[in-house]
Amino acid sequence: MALVTDILYDQDTGDIACKNGDFVIGDSTLQHQADLLEAGEGEYKQAPTVGVGLQGFLNDEDPAEMLRKIRIQFVGDGLNVSQLKSSDPLNIKANY
Per-residue pLDDT tens digits of the chain, which is 96 residues long? 668 899 999 989 989 999 999 999 999 999 999 999 999 999 999 999 999 999 999 888 899 999 999 999 999 999 999 999 998 889 999 999
Number of domains in the chain: 1
65 located within any domain: yes
8 located within any domain: no
Rg of the chain over CA atoms, in angstroms? 15
43 located within any domain: yes
39 located within any domain: yes
The model's pTM is 0.86
87 located within any domain: yes
23 located within any domain: no
Q: Which domain holds residue 84?
A: 29-95
Instruction: Measure Cα distances from 16 to 6, 12, 96 in Å.
Output: 11, 11, 23
10 located within any domain: no
93 phi, psi to nearest 5 deg: -125, 115
